[in-house]
Amino acid sequence: MPYSLANLLPPFIALLLTYGLCMLLYKTHLADYFNDVGGGKKLHKKAVPASGGIAIVLGIFGASAWFYPEFLMAEKWLFLGLIGIFILGLIDDLKPLGWLPKLITQLVLIGFVVVVADVRLETVLFEDRFLLMPNALSVILSIAIITFGTNAFNFIDGSDGLAALVALTAILGMLFFQIPFFNPFLFVVVAAVFGFRMLNKKPAKIFMGDSGSLFLGLLCSVLLIKFIEADLSTTNYWLETYSQRLPVAIALFWFPLFDTLRVFSLRLRARKSLFERDKLHSYSLLLRLGYQPAFIALVVFLATLIQVLGAVYLVPVTGIYLYFVIQMMLWFGFHFYLRLLVKQFKEEK
């Protein structure tokens, strides 16, 4: 088999498998088991099956088990943790769990990934200093970061096609800037997520569900740590310094981070539970103001591109600290713009 065809076949199989399973899960009686009833505090009005995560995971592992079994065995502890978080999400899709048992189980699974699979943020390189953390601090901080990233991704899964686009952008961005991970597997992931997104665009025929969003959230969080932790010999022509990896990683995953921090601050200010379902998310406000999911996804993508370009071209000029200040100003600007839109909307009513 030609080399180029051998590289293209696994992603193609993953795409077809995921798309076919999505069709099966939303067109048959299987949809009844996973229907996410609309109304109330949810943004959709009609029942939509939240079983897309099943198709994504089976598409990824079906193609990978066929073409890359050695890689799956080499990273068996990581994938065992990913399967565990997928099962947790699947149970929550079938019968919603309370936030506390769900969070405790996440911490156990993520702790397993950090300790047993040895996925840890050990070092951070800034402009003029190299921070090497003690093992205990590295473990605790890594668990906290991955838990936050996993749930942040889960929180943005509320607008058609948005979560899938964020995952695609983050993974393709890390591939472009060279992540020290088995790239053929990541192309399989990209193909599977794209196969799902074909049916997740408005009007969405199928949702990712917690099974898919927690799985992809954990995977993206792990990949971001591996991207930041890349060996100094893993370079890219687009990056002038190794210290640019941290701002690039934050830029690629900015929207889940921004939206979660924003919602948490609003809930704390209102003295509400951090995990209470509401319509304070950025995409929720934009949808209620009449913006279409495709437009929201485009805005998030363009804002991601702007911040990535800033990390590539501004950091060497301004330095990493000033760049983070500029980035925070952009985030605050977006936050206050949303407040202005809501205020104008209330005045017009």
Digit-coded pLDDT (tens) for 156-213:
988 888 999 999 999 999 999 999 999 999 999 999 999 999 998 878 889 899 999 9
The pLDDT of 221-248, averaged and rounded, is: 84
pLDDT of residue 42: 52
Q: Above 90 in pLDDT, residue 308?
A: yes
pLDDT of residue 84: 97
Q: Above 60 in pLDDT, residue 265?
A: yes
Q: ∠211-212-215 over CA atoms, to 5°?
A: 85
- pTM comes to 0.91
pLDDT of residue 107: 97
Question: Which contacts qualify for 190-193: CB closer than 8 Å, 24 or more apart?
Answer: 190/11, 191/10, 191/11, 191/12, 191/14, 191/15, 191/18, 191/59, 191/63, 192/14, 192/15, 192/17, 192/18, 192/55, 192/56, 192/59, 192/60, 192/63, 193/18, 193/56, 193/164, 193/167, 193/168
Query: Could you tell me which residues are annotated as the binding site?
Result: 154, 210
Q: Above 80 in pLDDT, residue 279?
A: no
Q: Above 80 in pLDDT, residue 16?
A: yes
pLDDT of residue 125: 74
Q: Above 80 in pLDDT, residue 234?
A: no
pLDDT of residue 347: 59
The percentage of the chain sitting over the pLDDT mark of 70, rounded to a whole number, equals 90
Provide the token pair at 8: 């293209």
Q: Above 60 in pLDDT, residue 230?
A: yes
Output phi, psi for 36, to 5 deg.
Answer: -95, 105
pLDDT of residue 27: 82
pLDDT band at 58 (very low <50, low <70, confident <90, very high): very high
Which range is most confident: 18-22, 95-99, 319-323? Answer: 18-22
pLDDT of residue 346: 65
Question: Which residues is 125 bridged to in the sheet?
Answer: 130
Q: Which residue in 89, 44, 34, 35 sits closest to 284, CA to CA?
A: 44
Q: Which residue in 286, 284, 281 sits closest to 267, CA to CA?
A: 281
Query: Could you tell me which residues are annotated as the binding site for Mg(2+)?
Result: 154, 210
Q: Above 80 in pLDDT, residue 45?
A: no
